[in-house]
């Protein structure tokens, strides 16, 4: 069997297209039979978001000029796409956008424990399916415990902020290389693909990379 194809994904856990894009990629890998090795990297869509967060619809209107009608259509589309991929978007009028810096610190710690991918996926579900506050250290510690990690250790990391500088450096590494939106996927450490491209396109990319590796 060929070596797994490495895919570095720059992502934020409150980015719906990030979980859509990953899910499309994972399905493409499953259907084509190619093994992928995913590494997640931090990106904050809203680094200046205050701790109390902001109503999601109000946030989208303020940031992008999205009308209530366009917002409703976008939510319906994402919900439908997610369901087709086995992911549940559970939008509500009182859903809030939150700061994700602590969440990225938790993912970084979980990565060191060998569970970064599981942690990232759990936080997607926590935010979009259960509408949890991912800026709350107690909520994040609960999510760590839910995937089998030590809750007290996770909470200690979050409350101490010991990984804050490292995570900030990692964010700056990617933004310094021109990453300004997510998802951004780097295949085999050299091919950048942005946005959620769909299963068919991801399958073509995997086939192309496999052919290159075999050449």
CA atoms of 147 and 151, how far apart (whole Å): 10
Helix (H, G, I), strand (E, B) or coil at 37: strand
- 170 in any annotated domain: no
CA atoms of 154 and 151, how far apart (whole Å): 5
The proportion of the chain whose per-residue pLDDT surpasses 70, expressed as a percent, equals 99
Query: What is the sign, positive or negative, of the torsion defined by CA atoms of 192, 202, 22, 118?
Result: negative
- 8 in any annotated domain: yes
- 160 in any annotated domain: no
Q: Determine the average pLDDT of the residues in 6-23.
A: 98
Number of domains observed in the structure of the chain: 1
- 24 in any annotated domain: yes
Q: Phi and psi at residue 41, in whole multiples of 5°?
A: -135, 145
pLDDT in tens, 137-161: 999 999 999 999 999 999 999 999 9
- 56 in any annotated domain: no
CATH number of residue 8's parent domain: 3.40.30.10
Q: What is the pTM of this model?
A: 0.95
CA atoms of 104 and 160, how far apart (whole Å): 14
- 118 in any annotated domain: no
User: Mean pLDDT in the chain?
Assistant: 96
pLDDT in tens, 91-108: 999 999 999 999 999 999
Q: Is residue 200 over pLDDT 90?
A: yes
- 4 in any annotated domain: yes
- What residues make up the domain containing 183? 1-43+179-215
Q: Is residue 1 over pLDDT 70?
A: no
- 69 in any annotated domain: no
Tokens for 147? 């995937």
Predicted pLDDT at 212: 82
């Amino acid at each position: 069997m060929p070596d797994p194809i490495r895919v570095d994904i720059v992502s934020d856990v409150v980015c719906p297209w990030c979980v859509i894009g990953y899910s499309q990629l994972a399905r493409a890998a499953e259907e084509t039979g190619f093994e992928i090795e995913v590494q997640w990297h931090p990106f904050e869509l809203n680094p200046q978001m205050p701790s109390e967060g902001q109503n999601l619809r109000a946030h989208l209107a303020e940031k992008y000029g999205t009308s209530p009608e366009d917002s409703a259509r976008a939510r319906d589309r994402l919900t439908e796409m997610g369901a087709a991929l086995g992911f549940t978007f559970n939008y509500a009028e009182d859903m809030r956008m939150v700061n994700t810096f602590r969440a990225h610190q938790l993912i970084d710690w979980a990565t060191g424990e060998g569970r970064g991918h599981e942690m990232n996926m759990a936080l997607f579900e926590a935010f979009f399916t259960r509408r949890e506050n991912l800026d709350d250290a107690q909520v994040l510690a609960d999510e760590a415990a839910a995937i089998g990690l030590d809750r007290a250790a996770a909470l200690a990391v979050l409350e101490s902020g010991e990984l804050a500088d490292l995570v900030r450096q990692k964010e700056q590494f990617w933004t310094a290389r021109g990453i300004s939106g997510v998802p951004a996927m780097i295949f085999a450490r050299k091919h950048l693909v942005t946005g959620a491209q769909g299963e068919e396109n991801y399958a073509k990319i995997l086939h192309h990379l496999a052919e290159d590796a075999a050449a």
